Amino acid sequence: MTPDTVRVRRNEEIDRVNPEIHGHFAEHLGRCVYGGIWVGDDDRVPTTDGIREDTVELLSDLGVHQLRWPGGCFADAYHWRDGVGPREERPRRTNDFWAQGREEAFVESNAFGTEEFVRLCELVDAEPFLAANVGSGDPREASDWVEYCNRDDDTTLARERAENGSEEPHDVTYWGVGNENWGCGGQFDPETYADEFRRFAHFMRLRGAEETIACGHIDEDWNRRFLAELTEPDLMDHLSIHRYFGRWDGDCGSATEFDEEQYYLLFAESLKVGRQIDSAAAAIDTYASTDDVGIAVDEWGAWHPEAASENGLEQENSVRDAVAAAGVLDDFTHRADLVSMANLAQTVNVLQCVVQTDEEAAWPTPTYRVLDLYSPHVGATAVRTAVETDEIETDLWDVPLVSASATHDEEGTYVTLSNRSLDEERSVAVAVEGEVGGATGEVLFADSDPADYSTRENAAEFASTDLDVSTEDGTPVVDLPANSVAGLSVESA
């Protein structure tokens, strides 16, 4: 069989892969924050200041880099003052967006607020990313939050933070100005949101919001209308886009049940993430510059029909989803010059989470394994890659059977590869430009089926195993099992 070929053009550098691209998102939704991260005084699992140590350990080992909170749709109904001060005095509120059908999540206790979130970020060594309330809040509330978190001056809000246990400022760099403000975040048209964004960002900046994230849309026209109206692009450091794949645009089956057509359609849909980045970049370059405004893909991942409000957006975490995530991470690496940050939705228990929990334990999902395998890309320099492989036709567009991306640093070149074929092993030659030394590899899911999913009992079975690397005329060649993901380290000569 003639192998597929991945050509790695080491001399064509794209940009550094910002660590923030491997970020995560935690919303007050179902069992993500309450149960998955925060258990307070519940002593069934060991905690640090009410935060689960098992979840923290997994996240720290993975590297979270940047964590977005408190939403999501929840952000535009959240009033930060509800979540600071003595916990027993905090108001109990309805969770306006994610209450449906879940008795236990109907009341938001506000036990997990700003101080608890920042503590979590310290424990997992992540940059905090706070999403301010535009939809039902005002610029004063948002800029007061910035002051509470970031100011060192002797102001009432800085004193209040000190009384709440944090003498030193939290130094929050990333500030979202609302979330999906074209929908759950206030139903704004792009022109009205541009006016609101200008007002909020202006006052938030005055109090110390270093980097702001504006809400964008999957629709390029919406982004163009917003950018045309904004007139002050300097107020915006990142434009956010969200892209879920699975339930939204076609029938991809469920997380664990799909036929061949549905299997490939999920991959076709996941390719939309890259296309959407390109479309947002084209819009930005018309009105500002992608050198100054990064694209924040601050929600992305697989979302299957069974993940509904009623079950707190929970779904099984399957191998197919994890392999799809690998392709999306490759697409981020290819666009390291455009993507400034990205947040997989959502960290624990919800949607395409990396950690799942029950009342006694936490365990990693197959997607966790993929992010872990991709971690050598973090902070390295992305280089151009070209993949020669077969394609599968779908209702949307053709899906290349092999996905790949590469980065390099002084030690060598790191190449990630995935085989999206449902049932065929693929032999792949990895042709790295110039003189190279030896290569070693690891592979995920060699013995799994695409519909396999993680449980507390089987989670260890998704760990990586060694991958044999042969050499043909000096070029490393690997055999990738069907529906698998690999990482190849190629030494510099």
Catalytic residues: 180, 299
Query: What minimum distance in Å lies between the beta carbon of 183 and ligand AHR?
Result: 7
Nearest CA-CA partner of 288 in 240, 241, 221, 230: 230
Question: Which position among 72, 135, 274, 327 is part of the footprint of ligand AHR (CB under 6 A)?
Answer: 72
**What's the angle, vertex CA 236, arms to CA 123 and CA 380, rounded to 5?**
50
What is the CA 492 to chain-centroid distance, rounded?
Answer: 31
Residue 427's CB is within 10 A of a number of other CB atoms, namely: 16
Query: What minimum distance in Å lies between the beta carbon of 64 and ligand AHR?
Result: 17
CB-nearer residue toward ligand AHR: 315 or 484? 315
DSSP structure string for 371-431:
HHHHGGGTTSEEEEEEEE--EE--SS--EESEEEEEEEETTEEEEEEEE--SS--EEEEEE
Residue least distant from ligand AHR (Cβ):
72
Query: What minimum distance in Å lies between the beta carbon of 69 and ligand AHR?
Result: 11
Site string for ligand AHR, 317-356 (x = CB under 6 A): ----------------------------xx----x-----
Residue 299 interacts with ligand AHR (CB under 6 A): yes or no:
yes
Residue 362's CB is within 10 A of a number of other CB atoms, namely: 23
Contact stretch for ligand AHR (CB under 6 A) within 68-76, 80-88, 329-337, 440-448:
68-76
Would you state the structure tokens that stand for residue 167, as one six-digit string? 């003498």
Question: Which position among 3, 20, 21, 27 is part of the footprint of ligand AHR (CB under 6 A)?
Answer: 27
Query: Helices 319-334 and 366-374, interaxial angle, to 10°?
Result: 30
Residue 73 interacts with ligand AHR (CB under 6 A): yes or no:
yes
Question: Which position among 71, 135, 327, 366 is part of the footprint of ligand AHR (CB under 6 A)?
Answer: 71
The footprint of ligand AHR on this chain (CB under 6 A) covers a number of residues equal to 11
| Greatest alpha-carbon span in the chain | 71
Would you state the structure tokens that stand for residue 115, as one six-digit string? 């101080």
478 within 8 A of 417, measured Cβ to Cβ: yes
CB-nearer residue toward ligand AHR: 27 or 144? 27
Site string for ligand AHR, 213-242 (x = CB under 6 A): -----------------------------x
Q: Cα(391)–Cα(13) distance, rounded to whole angstroms?
A: 27
Is 103 buried (19+), middle (13-18) or exposed (0-12) by CB count in 10 A?
A: exposed
Nearest CA-CA partner of 267 in 318, 319, 307, 327: 327
Question: Which position among 47, 114, 179, 483 is part of the footprint of ligand AHR (CB under 6 A)?
Answer: 179
**What's the angle, vertex CA 142, arms to CA 137 and CA 144, rounded to 5?**
125
Contact stretch for ligand AHR (CB under 6 A) within 67-75, 100-108, 382-390, 427-435:
67-75
Contact stretch for ligand AHR (CB under 6 A) within 30-38, 70-78, 196-204, 329-337:
70-78
Query: What minimum distance in Å lies between the beta carbon of 447 and ligand AHR?
Result: 32
CB-nearer residue toward ligand AHR: 97 or 368? 97
Binding site for ligand AHR (CB under 6 A): 27, 71-73, 179-180, 242, 299, 345-346, 351
